[in-house]
């Protein structure tokens, strides 16, 4: 009897689940979800071309160096880059002495060898880029309760990659009248800024690039807002995937070898089985 009751209970539970699933499915088909401000007014990333795009792309080291300058002088005030070491900057065309000098411009956590107390010291090539905040609580307190994300892998973590970063940096604007009329609740609240390229339309990060000449480029390139946005977007593409170009370049010889091996195997098969006649079918 107990076993029969258990079976009936299980069947009843299964029936309820199936009915619930069917009702939800029918409702979703016949009554589409109401359109939200995020769905209607969110914009896809702008179409931007970078030297490293495509199967024949290459890193523009001058652009990457300019992007590093933008990160150091603008983005590093709020965002960490904990998966990138100073020694990695050698891939951008910097010499070993230049990497050492660049690392020394940063202050990283250390320990006083005399007292054992925590101190800040000049960075070394083996150190990783430090966080501007001692912990997540301090980061949230300084940014309207929004913790700035680490930028090491940002170009891989967001749909659109470098194009998304560029669009976000250049996309700050006032909400449109159409948006405010249809979705007044979508107006940015206190401490928020409207950006249609951000999934939620409003974000806590203030526009980081605000004026031409905000940074100084040693190569003489004019530091306009679009130029700075493009340079730092390329730089963050490199930090997220530094071996991208090398992997693509390696792929072509590999594909060539596979093609050659396939042709050789086919010709070998033809040579080996050339003298073998197929058996006749018996009807």
CATH among 3.40.50.300, 1.10.760.10, 3.40.1390.30, 1.20.1560.10 for 39-84+129-244: 1.10.760.10
The model's pTM: 0.82
**Which of 39-43, 86-90, 189-193 has maximum average pLDDT?**
86-90
Question: Can you say which residues are annotated as belonging to the binding site?
Answer: 75, 78-79, 205
Spatial separation of the C-alpha atoms in residues 239 and 85, rounded to whole Å: 10
pLDDT at 22 over 80: no
Positions at the binding site for heme c: 75, 78-79, 205
pLDDT confidence tier of residue 32, bands split at 50, 70 and 90: low
Given a contact cutoff of 8 angstroms between Cβ atoms, the answer to whether 143 and 78 are in contact is: yes
Return the residue matching tokens 């209970």: 9
Q: Which pairs count as long-range contacts for 147-150, CB under 8 Å and 24+ apart, including other chains?
A: 148/78, 148/79, 148/80, 148/205, 149/79, 150/79, 150/80, 150/81, 150/82, 150/83
Question: Please, what is the average pLDDT of the chain?
Answer: 89
Tell me the average pLDDT across 231-243.
96
- What are the DSSP calls for 140-152, one per residue? HHTTTT-PPPP-T
Rounded to an integer, the average pLDDT of 273-281 is 69
Q: Is the pLDDT of residue 102 over 80?
A: yes
Q: Where are the domains of the chain?
A: 39-84+129-244
pLDDT at site 218: 93
Average pLDDT over residues 238-263: 88
Higher pLDDT, 22 or 208: 208
> 3-state class of 29 per DSSP?
helix
- 230: number of CA atoms within 13 Å, CB side? 17
């Amino acid at each position: 009897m107990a076993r029969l009751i258990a079976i009936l209970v299980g069947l009843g539970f299964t029936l309820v689940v199936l009915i619930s699933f069917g009702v939800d499915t029918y409702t979703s088909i016949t009554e589409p979800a109401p359109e939200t401000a995020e769905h209607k007014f969110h914009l896809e990333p702008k179409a931007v071309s970078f030297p490293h795009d495509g199967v024949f792309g290459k890193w523009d080291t001058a652009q990457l160096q300019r992007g590093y300058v933008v990160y150091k002088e603008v983005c590093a005030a709020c965002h960490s880059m904990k998966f990138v070491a100073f020694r990695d900057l050698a891939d951008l065309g910097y010499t070993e002495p230049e990497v050492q000098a660049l690392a020394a411009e940063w202050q990283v956590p250390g320990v006083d060898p005399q007292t054992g107390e925590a101190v800040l010291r000049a960075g070394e090539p083996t150190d990783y880029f430090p966080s501007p905040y001692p912990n997540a609580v301090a980061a949230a307190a300084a940014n309207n309760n929004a913790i700035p994300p680490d930028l090491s892998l940002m170009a891989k973590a967001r749909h659109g990659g470098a194009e998304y970063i560029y669009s976000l940096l250049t996309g700050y604007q006032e909400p449109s009248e159409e948006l405010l009329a249809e979705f007044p609740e979508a107006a940015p609240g206190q401490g928020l800024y409207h950006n249609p390229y951000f999934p939620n339309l409003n974000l806590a990060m203030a526009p980081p690039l605000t004026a031409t000449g905000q940074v100084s480029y040693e190569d003489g390139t004019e530091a306009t807002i679009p130029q700075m946005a493009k340079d730092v977007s390329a730089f963050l593409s490199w930090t997220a995937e530094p071996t991208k170009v090398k992997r693509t370049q390696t792929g072509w010889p590999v594909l060539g070898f596979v093609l050659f091996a396939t042709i050789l195997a086919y010709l070998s098969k033809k040579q080996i089985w050339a003298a073998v006649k197929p058996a006749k079918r018996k009807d």
